[in-house]
Amino acid sequence: MYCMVNIVFLVHPTSAQQSNGAPRVVPAEGYCSMYGICANRSDGKVLNCVNATKAVKPDTLFSTRIQSLCPTITGDVCCTVDQFDTLHQQVQQAVPFLVGCPACLRNFLNLFCEMSCSPNQSLFINVTSAKQVKNITTVDGIDYYITSNYGEELYNSCKEVKFGTLNTRAMDFLGGGAKTYKEWFAFLGRQANPNEPGSPYLITYRPDLSDSSGVKPLNTTIYSCGDPSLGCSCGDCPSSSVCMGSLSPQSKTETSCSVKMGSLKAECLDFSLVVVYIVFLCAILLWGLLYRSRGRTGFPSQTKPPKNADDKSNNNGNVPENSAQVPKAASSSIVQTYMSTFFRRHGVFVTRHPLLVLCASLLVPILLCIGLIRFKVETRPEKLWVSPGSQTAYEKQYFDSHLAPFYRIEQLVLATSASDQLEAPTIVNDNNFKLLFQIQKKIDDLRANYSGSTVSLADICLKPLSTDCATQSVLQYFQLDPKKHDDLGIDHAKFCFEHYSSEETCLSTFQSPIDPSTILGGFPGSNFTEASAFVITYPVNNKVETTGQENGKAMAWERAYINLVKEEILPMVLAQNLTLSFSSESSIKDELNRESTADAITIVISYIVMFAYISFTLGDRPSRLWALFVSSKVLLGLSGVVLVMLSVLGSMGFFSAVGVKSTLIIMEVIPFLVLAVGVDNMCILVHAVKRQPDGIVLEERISNALVEVGPSITLASLAEVLAFSVSAINPMPATRAFSMFAAMAVLLDFVLQVTAFVALIVYDFRRAEDGRIDCVPCARLKSSTVAGDNGGHQRLHFVARYMKDFHGPILGYRPVKFIVIAVFVGLAFASIAMSTRLQPGLEQKIVLPRDSYLQGYFDDLQKYMKVGPPLYFVVKNFNYSSASENTNQICSINQCNSNSLLNEIARQSLSPETSYIAKPAASWLDDFLIWMSPEAFGCCRKFVNGNYCPPDDQPPCCQLDQDSGSCSSNGACNNCTTCFLHSDLHNGRPSTTQFREKLPWFLDALPSSDCSKGGKGAYSTSLDHSGYENGIIQASAFRTYHTPLNKQTDYVNSLRAARDFSSQMSKDLQMEIFPYSVFHIFFEQYLSVWKTAIMNICVCLGAVFVVCFVVTSSLWASAIILIVLAMIVLDLMGVMAVLGIQLNAISIVNLVMSIGIAVEFCVHITHAFMIGIGDRENRVRQALSTMGASVFSGITLTKLVGVIVLRFAKSEVFVVYYFQMYLALVLIGFLHGLIFLPVVLSLCGPPQKTMKPIEQSQTPPSNEQT
């Protein structure tokens, strides 16, 4: 918010009543049309006399003074000393705007010098109207004749001159935003109303003569802004020959490779994938035909059945319903031999000592839960999504500590609603303005309680000049005064839309122009009157937080503000048939906190549904109803769910103890995730025990089951732990913490599964054998009731029979194999093409609850906002000493380097579509150099004693009228002189001492009409002047604005463009420069998101491959698992692209996690295949018969049940990143694990290893029944 009083230059005053009988002056050289001051208007403006006198020769002193301002006026003149003093006083208002471009300033001054003092005034000035004031004829209107070429060239020399303080053109102030010289001159010549800035009489510029009455239009020399003798900066004169090369927009054209085939056009990658896929299909088809022509009935097995496989090798994969493969499935691998031995002994030990194992295993997570006393939740967005060591985090810390934190934003957006087939009507009408005044009053009257004291907006708001709040509202055109609205009406606001920078009556209460594009929305082009939205912004002071209480007052007021809007303001707006969206600085944090409980019910339901499913799938379906009370596994399922909860709590306790804060996602996702993983292994363990023959004791059944599925469970769990551990290298704190918590929880869950849960299985099976009722083990049914169903559970279930009798045989047909390979490989290739279309980002709306009031607010921002966020370029260690070139390397006024930082920013703003920079930068350095310049004679001034002297329109140089606000001159500053003469400067630049002494004056100088370049308010926080006495300014910021950023990719690309530009400028200028905007810290991760994703996925795949190789001792099998996992991840990325799921830290963790989860779909089938007997076809059928049902019911359906519950979560982040992605993962993993993988194994699975019988344990079963 910047304070800038409107500048209007009053040509030489003459006030007169209009008279049709105005004296006609005959044009002649050496004659005047008006001379002398005859009277004053009621507002004090002086009025020229109508006087066709001969030009007067001035004395030497007067001539010298005229030459200092008007070097083209020599000899006789048509102005008196008083007239010249008035001219001098009034043009000084324009000088600060134009002094940065000497050519423009010289041309502009010459225009008024010629009109006021030219000895040939009558040749181009004709008095067309006169007024009688106290019987004296005064000027009321003139015609000013100029040539069209003169007007065009004058305008061209000034049209690009910048007014850096407000990031806009000087023409917006000095010309009302004129686009042509005619518009500019019409603005300059209008007659001002009393007490308003402007000319006291009408000036009509006549570019063309209608007669030949002796008039000679003014056509003096015009200096081009590119004139070397009066060189302007490249920012002010991009057409200059020395600037054309550097200022031409350097657009970054992204070249994309494409292939045309007739009317079709395809990307090179897509075309290449299609070609490779066609070649692949041809190769597979040729291979199949080749073997068929040799009389093969199928693809050959590279191994023969072992000699000790007896007749089971010829059973076509049919496995007896109550047989187990374990006794003959010992691999010669050292690792597998060790694991088989370990799990057999472990099973025997657990069966003999279930109570000891149960108590010992539960002790670990219970002890870890003690750490929960230090449990804390991190909710600050910058602590969740920004790495402490990131570049943007350092830049933000540097900006906040050396300059000032960006102010807090409280915002309201009122908008009209579009009806059916009609656009939204304009919001600019009297009723809506009256509503805004009512809202403003409520905001002003709002009081919040903080530590026993009351807090109002005035206590915390940003005050550029320490007086009024910098409220950004359309009501500022009425100075927030409803009486002025009643007096002036809505037409005044519409007038201010076009003249906000050039009309004093349009200035805000804090004396700054209000750009309508920042307070209106939904308008087409620049047609502000058609705006469909009001945007009201309340900037609030922000402080660097160290204890968390520094912004306590602001946060207390923000909470009261949100309550006020919800309870009172919203009903008022809705009653007017308008819509309202709103936000405060703390809204996101508060809504994220609310989200922590929004989905608690969803998580609870997920656990209940999972518990019901596991109880159902673990139990048997006996033929007798009474037997169901014994064969059910409700208590076992409940115990398994409790173990999962213990593992989650133990993980949270461990990391809380070591000081790692939890997050909302950890609390809501990990319980579900670990439950889904844990239930899988529970089902597989119980089903493995149930597959054992009835004739052996429970001890052998438990140990055999662990030998059968223990290695694959271990492999799957290790893969999951590895996947999460790899994700922990992600730099985002939220995802890193999530990965660490998840890895520990999965590890604890695995340990509890193979210890406590196995002990619980022992107890449950003993209970069933004794005929005791599930959940009420003290009750017992008659043995005859259960006997009829004894062993009934040994019959294969429907899914197992389907896998054995239908699924396996169908996949054995050669055409089916070819179709499966073609479809799955085709999907993988298509996913590669689709994955390149993934967009980085994370929509803010997704992480909020669906019913959050911020949902509508973000929609309205995207729909209505016409300006982007502020962008600062920060220069570190600026050396302002005379010996350094830093000043000219940064500034953008005359004598600055053409490739200076500010000139290059101006160049970037010429190509906003690639640079995302909307305007040239506001520069305290430019304004300081102009403020010090002798040409800006109303700015840097000093009293005789050397102290700072303010401009003449500021106290103590004038007497302030408290009622009218006007300041009348009192002569107190008549003896003030400019700080420097031209001879005091070195090549137009101040010395080190001059810079150091006058910088504090500049930063304390108030801007006003006589000097608009004062730095107070505008640049109070633009530089760190602590320790600047040594010639070094540690931090210096130059503010510009981004273009409107409506999409996540816009934010990412704008950050990348700003980074690239700063890096190039740092290299070229040999200075440290970095960009800063409030959103940068949240989007830095997306600059390298693809690199992070690829690295994490590759590392995880590599780690899983190593684990698979160690456990299976087979490179062949490990390679197949690796390929299938890679295809699953690729397909998942393809689904993300189709569903519009963005690539970010959450989705990267999900992708890496999907590798660990996908292992479960592959490793059990592969392990069963490897320990099978017979050729590949037989082993595939055996694997599907034994493990296919477990993979489907124990893994696929288990995860599916848990995932579906997330569909009803209130938070969109759960629906998008957990429901949609997990559902896709489950379906893709299921299809690859039970369709594609068996086909691949049947075609090129690893050869069967040498098998040897496993020695059965000779240890008698324990009689422990505890």
Q: Do 805 and 676 share a structural domain? A: yes
Contact by Cβ (8 Å): 857, 536: no
Q: Do 338 and 457 share a structural domain? A: no
Expressed as residue numbers, the domain containing 803 is 326-373+599-836+1089-1249
3-state class (DSSP) for residue 1125? helix
pLDDT tens by residue, 1056-1066: 999 999 999 99
Contact by Cβ (8 Å): 1011, 931: yes
Q: Do 447 and 517 share a structural domain? A: yes
Which residue is listed with tokens 């197949």? 1120
Positive or negative torsion for Cα 36, 39, 41, 44: positive
Partnered with residue 191 across adjacent β-strands are 199
Kindly report whether the global pTM for this prediction surpasses the value 0.85. Answer: no
140: in domain: yes
867: in domain: no
201: in domain: yes
* 10-residue stretch averages of pLDDT, the chain, 1266 residues long: 33 37 76 93 87 94 91 94 90 86 92 95 93 89 93 93 82 88 92 80 84 81 86 81 56 60 76 90 84 52 42 46 44 74 93 95 95 87 79 93 94 88 87 96 96 94 91 96 94 90 86 92 91 96 81 94 96 95 92 71 76 78 66 86 92 94 80 79 87 86 91 87 83 84 93 94 89 79 55 58 88 91 95 93 85 92 91 96 93 89 91 92 93 89 93 86 69 88 87 94 90 89 90 95 92 95 95 95 89 89 89 89 95 95 89 87 88 87 86 83 79 86 93 94 80 44 41
Residue that finishes a domain, picked among 946, 970, 1005: 1005
Neighbouring residues of 291: CB distance < 8 A, sequence distance ≥ 6: 299, 300
pLDDT tens by residue, 202-252: 999 998 775 657 889 998 999 998 888 777 888 888 887 777 655 444 444
Contact by Cβ (8 Å): 406, 542: yes
Q: Do 823 and 675 share a structural domain? A: yes
1208: in domain: yes
Q: Do 606 and 579 share a structural domain? A: no
Q: Do 1154 and 1116 share a structural domain? A: yes
Task: Give CA separation, 185 vs 155, 182, 207, 605, in Å.
Answer: 9, 5, 10, 74
Q: Do 481 and 368 share a structural domain? A: no
Run of H or E residues at 396: helix 391-402
533: in domain: yes
29: in domain: no
Q: Do 800 and 717 share a structural domain? A: yes
Q: Do 414 and 361 share a structural domain? A: no
190: in domain: yes
Tell how strand 136-145 and strand 202-206 pair up. parallel
Neighbouring residues of 782: CB distance < 8 A, sequence distance ≥ 6: 771
Measured distance CA(20)–CA(963) in Å, rounded: 39
Residue that finishes a domain, picked among 549, 579, 595: 595
Q: In the chain, what is the greatest distance between 2 CA atoms, to the nearest angstrom?
A: 138
pLDDT of the residue at 23: 64
284: in domain: yes
In the chain, the number of structural domains is 5
Q: Do 1122 and 981 share a structural domain? A: no
Contact by Cβ (8 Å): 687, 1189: yes
Q: Do 611 and 755 share a structural domain? A: yes
Residue that finishes a domain, picked among 552, 580, 595: 595
Q: Do 685 and 616 share a structural domain? A: yes
